[in-house]
Structure 1
Amino acid sequence: MTQTNIDRFDEVAAKVLTAVYERFPEPINLDPNTIGMIEETPELTAYGEFIYSEGWIELDSFIHWTAKWLAEEGYLAERRASVYTLSATGFKSMKHVAQPEIGSETLGDKIKHASAEGASATTSKLMDQFLSIGATVLTKTMGID
């Protein structure tokens, strides 16, 4: 079965959020290597330029647009080009514990585990939960209940 763009977004967004959550509050450069989707060492030309594979370049572009969207919606803060950290909303959402009485695993931990295991259906559901929690945090911040 072919992966839809939304499925791909969920997968990439989960990896992006995991990477920035693990390094919070330090801003990090987001690319396929830093979020753990591809381990590729680029070739170096005689002019000192890096050459990446087409797959790496295409994935890097998708990561860029995913992170841009997450930043525009208030979940990430872009410090400079392709360098991000969690916003307050993103941090609160990742630290959310759905049912503290039955466990202390945060949503960030759940996203990290599901993403690492390649559980796409679970990752998708967790991304829906993350976006929903974030929307609630944003509306409360704006005084809208």
Structure 2
Amino acid sequence: MALSNIEQFDEYTGQILGRLYQKFPVPVRVMASDYFECGPISIANDEYKFTGHDATIFQATAKWLVMAGYIHSPGKKNSFLDSAVLTAKGLELLKLTPSSVEGGQSLGEKLTQAAKDESREAFRTVASEILGLGVRFVSPLIGLSS
């Protein structure tokens, strides 16, 4: 059964944030082809773009993570993020250890473990937890109740 857009978003969020956590503070290029076999490439205006539903969702996820303030990437292209690095907000979230798992792994460590295990479900679960915590952090700052 094919994953829904939101399930793919959660999985790709986990993969991207996990890689940036592992490489922090070194900036890296984030491309769909680093994570899965991509379809054909479309070339226009000296830029290439992966085609296909999975690549479209991956690219949209990466751009959303930049817009939401989890990633800084000065070299945004259609098909990849260049020199991507976690922002202070992104790093702070990934260094958190959920209160329900006292003394356990931080969220970033969980993503690192998911990468080692190649666990798509773990990426989705941890990414969902990260984004939920991100909303709770930001809501009071912009005047919303958490």
Task: Name the TM tier (shorter chain).
Answer: 0.7 to 0.9
2:40 corresponds to: 54
CA distance in 2, matches of 1:95, 1:72: 21
CA contact (8 A) 1:89 1:137 kept: no
Instruction: Please identify the structure whose Cα radius of gyration is greater.
Output: 1
CA distance in 2, matches of 1:26, 1:143: 34
For residues 90-123 of structure 1, give each alpha carbon's deviation from its aligned partner in whole angstroms, at most 9, with x where no partner exists: 1011100114974241101112323443434433
Which structure has more strand as a fraction of its residues?
2
Same amino acid, percent of matched pairs: 24
Where do 5+ consecutive residues of structure 1 fail to align? 41-51
Aligned residues: 131
Letter in 2 for 1:139: S
1:123 equivalent in alignment to 2:118: no
Q: What is the TM-score normalised by the length of structure 1?
A: 0.72
Q: What is the TM-score normalised by the length of structure 2?
A: 0.72
CA distance in 2, matches of 1:97, 1:20: 18
2:45 corresponds to: none
Q: CA RMSD in A?
A: 2.8
CA distance in 2, matches of 1:26, 1:19: 11
Letter in 2 for 1:70: L
CA distance in 1, matches of 2:39, 2:142: 44
Moved more, 96-105 or 8-17: 96-105
